[in-house]
Amino acid sequence: MKLILNSPFWCILLCIAIGALGSFLLYRKDKSLGELSSLWKKTLAALRFLSISFLAFLLLEPLLEFSKEKIEKPILVLANDSSESMVFSNDSLQVKQQLKLDFEELEKKLSSKYEVVSYSFGDEIKEGFDFDFDSKMTNISSFFKEIQNRYYNRNLSGIVIATDGIYNSGSNPLFETKKLKNIPVYSISVGDTATKKDVFIDQVLHNRLVYRGSKFPVVVEVKAEQFRGKSCLVKISKGGKTVEEKAINFTVISDLKQVSFELTAEGSGLQKYSVSVSELDGEFSTNNNYKSFYIDVLESKEKILILSNSPHPDVNAVKLALESNENYEVKTELISDFKGKLEEYNLVVAFSLPSGANKLEETNIPVLYMLGNQTDFNKFNALKKGVEVLNSKGFTESQVYFSPSFSSFIVSQELNSFVTYFSPLQVPFTTQYSLNNSAEVVLFQKIGPVKTKYPLLAFNKTNGIKYGFFIGEGVWRWKLQDYSLNESNERFNELFTQSAQYLISKEDKSLFRVFGNNTYKENDKIKFEAEIYNGSYELVNTNEVQMKIINEQNKEFTYLFSKEGERYGLEVGVLLAGNYKYIASTNLKGKNTTRSGEFSVNEVKLEQNNSVANHPLLFNMSDVTGGKMVSLEEVNSLGDFILENGDDSNVIFQEKDIDDLINIKFIFFLLLSLLTIEWFLRKKNGGY
Q: Which of 55-59, 552-556, 649-653 has the highest mean pLDDT?
A: 552-556
Q: 276 or 417: whose pLDDT is higher?
A: 276
Amino acid at 547: M
Q: Report the domain count for the chain.
A: 5
Residue 342 binned pLDDT confidence (cut-offs 50, 70, 90): confident
Cβ burial 433-460 (10 Å sphere, 16+ → b, else e):
bebeeebbbbbbbbeeeeeeebbbbbbb
DSSP 135: B
Dump pLDDT digits (tens) for 184-206.
Answer: 999 999 888 888 889 999 889 88
DSSP 3-state of 188: strand
Q: Which of 259, 277, 298 is the C-terminal boundary of a domain?
A: 298
Residue 653 placed within a domain: no
Q: Specify the pLDDT at position 163.
A: 92
Residue 581 has pLDDT above 90, yes or no: yes
Using CA atoms, how far apart are residues 441 and 439, in angstroms rounded to an integer?
A: 7
571 and 428, same domain (yes or no): no
**Sequential DSSP letters for 3-15:** EE-SS-THHHHHH
Cβ burial 334-350 (10 Å sphere, 16+ → b, else e):
ebeebeeebeebbbbbb
Using CA atoms, how far apart are residues 243 and 262, in angstroms rounded to an integer?
A: 10
483 and 369, same domain (yes or no): yes
Q: Judging by DSSP bridges, how do beta strands 440-447 and 328-334 pair with one another?
A: unpaired
**Which residues, at least 6 apart from 57, have a Cβ–Cβ distance to it below 8 Å?**
12, 15
Residue 396 placed within a domain: yes
Contact call for residues 171 and 141 (beta carbons, < 8 A)? yes
Domain that holds residue 205: 198-298
pTM of the model: 0.57
Contact call for residues 126 and 119 (beta carbons, < 8 A)? yes
Dump pLDDT digits (tens) for 537-546.
Answer: 788 888 999 9
**Sequential DSSP letters for 39-59:** HHHHHHHHHHHHHHHHHHHHT
Residue 35 has pLDDT above 80, yes or no: no
CATH classification at residue 362:
3.40.50.880
Using CA atoms, how far apart are residues 583 and 516, in angstroms rounded to an integer?
A: 12
Q: Percent of the chain beyond pLDDT 70?
A: 95
Q: What's the Rg (C-alpha) of the chain?
A: 37
261 and 368, same domain (yes or no): no
DSSP 3-state of 137: coil
Q: Please, what is the average pLDDT of the chain?
A: 86
Using CA atoms, how far apart are residues 435 and 452, in angstroms rounded to an integer?
A: 15
493 and 355, same domain (yes or no): yes
Using CA atoms, how far apart are residues 381 and 42, in angstroms rounded to an integer?
A: 89
Q: Specify the pLDDT at position 586.
A: 94
**Sequential DSSP letters for 224-246:** EES-TT-EEEEEEEETTEEEEEE
| Residue ranges in 125-253 assigned as alpha helix (H) | 140-150, 173-177
Cβ burial 352-372 (10 Å sphere, 16+ → b, else e):
bbbeebeebeeeebbbbbbbb
Q: Which of 271, 298, 325 is the C-terminal boundary of a domain?
A: 298
Q: Is 487 left (phi over 0), alpha (psi -120 to 50) or beta?
A: left
Q: How many CA atoms lie within 13 A of 373 on its CB side?
A: 11
CB atoms within 10 A of CB 513: 14
Q: How many CA atoms lie within 13 A of 560 on its CB side?
A: 4
Contact call for residues 284 and 197 (beta carbons, < 8 A)? yes
Contact call for residues 157 and 647 (beta carbons, < 8 A)? yes
Amino acid at 612: V
256 and 279, same domain (yes or no): yes
Contact call for residues 345 and 300 (beta carbons, < 8 A)? no
Whats the size of the chain, residue-wise? 688
121 and 254, same domain (yes or no): no
**Which residues, at least 6 apart from 304, have a Cβ–Cβ distance to it below 8 Å?**
322, 328, 329, 330, 331, 345, 346, 347, 348, 349, 500
Q: Specify the pLDDT at position 90.
A: 56
Q: Specify the pLDDT at position 487.
A: 83
User: What average pLDDT does range 204-220 have in this prediction?
Assistant: 85
Q: Specify the pLDDT at position 654.
A: 67
The dihedral built from the CA positions of residue 152, 155, 157 and 160, taken in this order, carries a sign that is: negative
To the nearest 5 percent, what fractions of the chain are helix, strand and coil? Answer: 30, 40, 35
Q: Specify the pLDDT at position 1.
A: 67
Residue 688 has pLDDT above 60, yes or no: no
Residue 249 binned pLDDT confidence (cut-offs 50, 70, 90): very high
Distances (CA, A) of 373 to 370, 376, 400, 656: 10, 8, 18, 59
Residue 650 placed within a domain: no
148 and 272, same domain (yes or no): no
User: What average pLDDT does range 643-662 have in this prediction?
Assistant: 76
User: What average pLDDT does range 437-463 have in this prediction?
Assistant: 89
Residue 547 placed within a domain: yes
DSSP 3-state of 77: strand
Residue 354 binned pLDDT confidence (cut-offs 50, 70, 90): low
Residue 125 has pLDDT above 80, yes or no: yes
232 and 325, same domain (yes or no): no
Three-state SS sequence of 114-133: CEEEEEEECCCEEECCCCCC
371 and 306, same domain (yes or no): yes
Using CA atoms, how far apart are residues 447 and 455, in angstroms rounded to an integer?
A: 12
Q: Specify the pLDDT at position 268.
A: 80
Residue 652 placed within a domain: no
- Beta strands in 279-364, from DSSP E residues, in sequence order: 290-298, 302-308, 328-334, 347-351
Which residues on adjacent β-strands are paired with residue 20? Answer: none
- From 514, 519, 520, select the one nearest 574 (Cα to Cα): 520
The dihedral formed by the CA atoms of 668, 670, 674 and 675, expressed in degrees to the nearest 10: 10
CATH classification at residue 553:
2.60.40.1930
Residue 535 placed within a domain: yes
- From 525, 660, 547, 645, select the one nearest 596 (Cα to Cα): 547
Residue 124 has pLDDT above 60, yes or no: yes
CB atoms within 10 A of CB 650: 10
Q: Which of 504, 524, 545 is the C-terminal boundary of a domain?
A: 504
CATH classification at residue 267:
2.60.40.10
Residue 572 placed within a domain: yes
Backbone angles phi, psi at 391, to 5 degrees: 55, 45
406 and 531, same domain (yes or no): no
Residue 344 placed within a domain: yes
456 and 557, same domain (yes or no): no
**Which residues, at least 6 apart from 376, have a Cβ–Cβ distance to it below 8 Å?**
354, 355
214 and 293, same domain (yes or no): yes
Q: Specify the pLDDT at position 98.
A: 85
Q: Is 30 left (phi over 0), alpha (psi -120 to 50) or beta?
A: beta
